[in-house]
Amino acid sequence: MKTNFIPVDYDYFDFKDKNYIQLIGRNEKGNRVCVVDTYQPNFWVILKKGFEKDAKKVAEKIDKIEVNKLSRTTKVLKTKIVEKKFLEKDVTAIQVFVTNHKDTHDVASAIGDMKEIEARREYDIPIITKYIKENKVEPLNWYEVEGELIDIDEFGGIAGALDVEHCIKAQTIKPTKGKEFIPRVLAYDIETDGRDFGKGSLLAVSLYGENFKKVLTWKKCTGDPDYVEFFKTEEEVIEKFVEYIHQYDTDILTGYFSDGFDLPYLKAATLKNKTDFPLGLDRKGPTFTRGRIPSGKITGIVHIDLYRFISAVFAQYLQSETLSLREVAKELVGEEKEEFDWTKLENMKNQDWKALFSYNLQDSKVTYKLAQKIWPDILEFTKIIKEPMFDVTRSRMASHVDNYILHNLDNFNEIAEKRPMNNEIGKRRDMGKYEGAFVFTPTPGLYENIVFFDFTSMYASVMITYNLSKATFIEGDKFEKKEGFFPKMIQDIIEKRKKHKKELAKNPSGMLKARSNAYKLLANAAYGYQGFFGARYYCREAAAATARLAKENILSTIEKIKKEGYKIIYSDTDSIAFLQEKKTDKQVLTFLEKINKELPGIMELDLEDFYKRGIFVFNRGGTSGAKKKYALLDRKDKMKIRGFETVRRDWCDLARRLQSEILTKILKEGNGESSLKLLKKTIIDLKGRKIDLEDLMIKTQLKKPIKEYQSKGPHVIAAEKMLAAGEKIDSGMMIYYFIGESSTKGKRVGDKVFLPGEKAEYNINYYLDKQILPAVENIFEVFDLNVKEILDGESQKKLF
């Protein structure tokens, strides 16, 4: 039979010791189909230079290898001699086909270090990645599959076990075209009376999809909204939850932090209740892959934890200060979470249950909307990286780059480099840092008419221009002239990004935006990748050379700008700021064109923007101008604040807001006079205890387990207090606290730490000396105003 097919979920199974790939997706009618494809597991043996003529002899030896293991015997099925490339060099290689992918490692070991052999490679690539790379059956693309229906008892009965329209054993799978894939997305969220798995009880589960909203509970209350359904027990709630997921015909089941909480909690609950949890299309429960963070996998349904995708890929481009659902949803979809007073849990009344159910549903709704918003990004990332959606939504950028390279190596006839072993990782990490970017020390002051230039994708364009990569590295700081595959891949990425950005300008669409963005993120990650110890194509020399050549180029560009008669006021990594003085915009742009003509390779300087005013300040010691700390006002009166406490989440809102207002006033008015009044008023309010405690709350992230701290900062003390109060404390948590007046002895700030809700008055001196004044002092200093002296002087006047 023949069918059109789009693969969504990838899995594999063994049958009679052979590997099969199980693809689950949809046909053109939108019905669910399973396609089983064969895969010939293999890896490569690369011969040393000068031993090419021995290829046949070596291959014959390899042909005879057998590895006996407890459960099975692995044989080499066949070998094939192929002319390939490895790290840009022409090599004669033997492709070794074995019975089972699980044994490639053992066979590679059994071959050992023969004198003719240079290296063994590609035995460390996961089977699904190898399958996609070699068979080119890529996720979320349409294929025409020809094959036979799988009998009910074939392959141990998968056709009967899977809840799909039909299972096909593929003979051929050919790319074709089809309509845009629109997944059936269902979002879920659970509410519980505790955070420990296997303890406490499930209060409610909500589901939200297209024309679908449900809250399932076994807690009674009367007069409820129609979306709430009641059951007798927790077991029945979970049973119905599973039923609805299947009934909805879900492609993507999504939650927020659901890998870390919702799914493992539900699984633990079913273990506790000794019931099944048949979520998958195979009616099996979710499995949790091991790793730093467990990942919940469901057969045939892609479980996506949006938090993980956002934190791995988008976090650095978001404004949100925490990655809480509340903040992220507000920024990305403008949808608000509801509030629920959890202290009521002890004694829930009818309306409290109603509020909880509503809150529970809203979380799923917000998650659903977030999933819809991010879907173009998930789709494009999946198509570009060519890994299954499940993995793409969980990988970090380094791993995306690794996979992008793997799936594009065939264009260069390259055999893949291996992943570093633990000892190799250790060696790489011990190498320490190399010299990085140049940062100009600014002279503190208020400046008028500032021009900012910046290099477009500077590090990526340096890597391309100078051909910097592992495969093109010779020695010291020398790199081959002949174009390497990695710089070429980056160039391709940048060109695609440009192309899609252009199309986007003409014809705005979510998909184009996501595609252009995905390429941008990949290009940005390419430099860090080469310096990352876990990378297959790690090359410290290439990373160091990238930073060095970027620095050389920016320094020489700075000299050119100076020579033209401009005064440089700042520069950081890839940007240069200078004073426009009497020059017109046109003169500046003509000069920019001239610089661009002289820049090497594909390097390009761009106009970032013109600014009306800008302020640079002293560092805290007053010894020099502070780097990475400035504020600008553009020609549309929009502020751009960098590095100041205003943008630091570990300062209280009062200090942040005051600083931001003062910076705005100064940049808009051009002097510091009226700002002083604002400062004075704030101090009077603070001393009069008129400030809302919420504005004095400080938040700091706990970056490691509480016990590992050598030096206990205030947030660690706060976390210890929370722990003592019975709260669960995890590394990564955001800790909120304020500094109060404390009668207890101890000089540490930590001795005056109070948690939100604790009864204490705020510490006036702390907030004055450690928050408000430090936030504004160096700003006033630019105008030769010593805030402390002024305030002291005034209090003296009042005294006498």
Residues 274-303 touching DNA, rule: CB under 7 A, are 291-292
| Residue from the set 704, 723, 730, 756 that interacts with DNA by CB under 7 A | 704
Cα gap 611→578, rounded to integer Å: 10
Pick from 152, 271, 439, 589: which binds DNA (CB under 7 A)?
Answer: 439
Among 78, 283, 649, 657, binds DNA (CB under 7 A): 649
Q: Tell which residue, 132, 135, 141, 137, has the closest CA to residue 176.
A: 141
Among all chains, which residue has been given the structure tokens 């009880």?
201
Residue 192 or 682: the one with the smaller Cβ distance to DNA is: 682
Distance between first and last Cα of the chain: 100
Q: How far apart are CA 714 and CA 737, in angstroms?
A: 8
Q: Pick from 61, 85, 369, 770: which binds DNA (CB under 7 A)? A: 770
717 binding DNA? (CB under 7 A): yes
Report in angstroms how near the CB of residue 705 gets to DNA at its nearest.
Answer: 10
Q: String of b and e for 553-580 (b: at least 16 CB within 10 Å)?
A: bbeebbebbeeeebeebbbbbbbbbbbb
For 570, the token pair is 């700042």
Cβ(661)–Cβ(641) below 8 Å? no
Site for DNA in 224-253 (CB under 7 A): none
Nearest to 197 by CA among 99, 268, 126: 268
| Smallest distance from DNA to CB 105, Å | 15
Please report how close the Cβ of residue 58 comes to DNA at its closest, in angstroms: 31
Binding segment toward DNA, per CB under 7 A, in 225-233, 344-352, 469-477, 700-708? 700-708
Kindly tell me which residue out of 178, 294, 445, 643 binds DNA, with binding defined by CB under 7 A: 643
Quote the least distance from Cβ 431 to DNA, whole Å: 8
243 versus 741: smaller Cβ distance to DNA: 741
Q: Which of residues 534-553 bind DNA (CB under 7 A)?
A: 534, 543, 547
CA 56 → CA 18, 20, 44, 89, 335, distances in Å?
Answer: 27, 30, 14, 20, 66
Q: Answer yes or no whether residue 418 interacts with DNA by CB under 7 A.
A: no
Structure tokens at 633: 């006002």
Which one of 574, 603, 676, 696 is in contact with DNA (CB under 7 A)?
A: 574
The three-state secondary structure class of 622 is: coil
Q: How many residues bind DNA (CB under 7 A)?
A: 72
Instruction: Provide the token pair at 534.
Output: 């876990």
Residues 4-63 that bind DNA (CB under 7 A): none
Smallest gap from residue 463 Cβ to DNA (A): 12
Q: List alpha helices for 409-539, DSSP H.
A: 422-430, 458-465, 485-506, 510-531
The binder of DNA chosen from 423, 710, 744, 795 (CB under 7 A): 710
Q: Is 461 exposed, middle or buried (0-12, 13-18, 19+ CB in 10 A)?
A: buried
Of 122 and 454, CB closest to DNA: 454
Nearer to DNA, 201 or 575 (CB): 575
Read off the tokens for 325: 């659902």
Residues between 552 and 571 with contacts to DNA, criterion CB under 7 A: none
**Minimum CB distance to DNA, residue 663 (Å):** 12
Nearest to 85 by CA among 406, 473, 414: 414
Residues within window 385-404 making contact with DNA, judged by CB under 7 A: 396-399
Closest CB to DNA among residues 200, 528:
528
Contacts of 731 (CB under 8 A, 6+ apart): 702, 703, 704, 705, 706
Q: Which of 162, 140, 186, 704 is nearest to 385 (CA)?
A: 140
What does the alpha-carbon distance between residue 39 and residue 127 come to, in Å, rounded to a whole number? 9
Site membership for DNA, residue 433 (CB under 7 A): yes
Instruction: Write down the least CB distance from residue 33 to DNA, Å.
Output: 32
What φ, ψ does residue 734 adopt, rounded to 5°? Answer: -90, 125
CB 777, min distance to DNA, A: 9
Q: Does 316 bind DNA (CB under 7 A)?
A: yes
| Sites for DNA among residues 603-632 (CB under 7 A) | 619-621, 624, 626-629
Residue 434 is a binding residue for DNA (CB under 7 A): yes
Site residues (CB under 7 A) for DNA, limited to 667-696: none
> With binding defined as CB under 7 A, does residue 774 bind DNA?
yes
Stretch that binds DNA, among 195-203, 266-274, 645-653, 677-685 (CB under 7 A): 645-653
Nearest approach, Cβ of 374 to DNA (angstroms)?
19
Q: Are 114 and 79 in contact (CB under 8 A)?
A: no
| Contact indicator for 20, 71 with CB cutoff of 8 Å | no
Show the CA angle centred on residue 705, arms to residues 700 and 710, nearest 5°. Answer: 80
C-beta separation of 457 from 630 below 8 A: no
CB nearer DNA, residue 224 or residue 653: 653
Q: Rounded distance, CA 361 to CA 609, Å? A: 45
Is residue 155 within the footprint of DNA (CB under 7 A)? Answer: no
| Binding range to DNA, per CB under 7 A, among 83-91, 329-337, 476-484, 708-716 | 708-716
Shortest distance, position 627 Cβ to DNA, whole Å = 4
**Of residues 500 and 656, the one with the C-beta less far from DNA:** 656
Q: Which is nearer to DNA, 35 or 561 (CB)?
A: 561
In contact, 613 and 447? CB cutoff 8 Å? yes
Q: Of 592 and 647, which CB lies nearer to DNA in the complex structure? A: 647
From residue 544, how far is each of 341, 481, 551, 576 by CA, in Å?
Answer: 53, 18, 11, 21
Could you say which of 25, 147, 285, 531 contacts DNA (CB under 7 A)? 531
CB of 493 to DNA, least distance (A): 14
| 715 sits near DNA (criterion: CB under 7 A) | yes
Among 249, 321, 653, 781, indicate the residue that binds DNA (CB under 7 A): 321
**Which window, 189-197, 352-360, 436-444, 666-674, contacts DNA (CB under 7 A)?**
436-444
Among 51, 533, 736, 783, binds DNA (CB under 7 A): 533
Contact with DNA (CB under 7 A): which of 2, 638, 642, 687?
A: 642
For the bound state, the minimum distance from the C-beta of residue 441 to DNA, rounded and expressed in Å, comes to 7
Between 567 and 620, CB nearer to DNA: 620
With beta carbons less than 8 A apart as the criterion, state whether 343 and 98 touch.
Answer: no
**Smallest distance, DNA to C-beta of residue 182, A:** 30
| H or E, element range at 80 | strand 73-86
Distance CA 258, CA 179 (A): 31
Site string for DNA, 451-490 (x = CB under 7 A): ---x------------------------------------
Please pick, from the candidates 307, 381, 453, 527, the single residue that binds DNA as defined by CB under 7 A.
Answer: 527
Tokens 């299954």 correspond to 388
* 740 is a contact residue toward DNA (CB under 7 A): no
Residue with tokens 């979380």: 363
Q: Which residue reads 């490569």 in tokens?
A: 44
Our CB check for DNA shows the closer of 133 and 520 to be 520
372 near DNA, rule: CB under 7 A: no
Cα separation of 571 and 453, whole Å? 9
Q: Rule CB under 7 A: say whether 126 interacts with DNA.
A: no
Compute CA distances 695 → 698, 736, 764, 772, whole Å.
Answer: 9, 12, 13, 12
Q: Which of 423, 507, 711, 796 binds DNA (CB under 7 A)?
A: 711
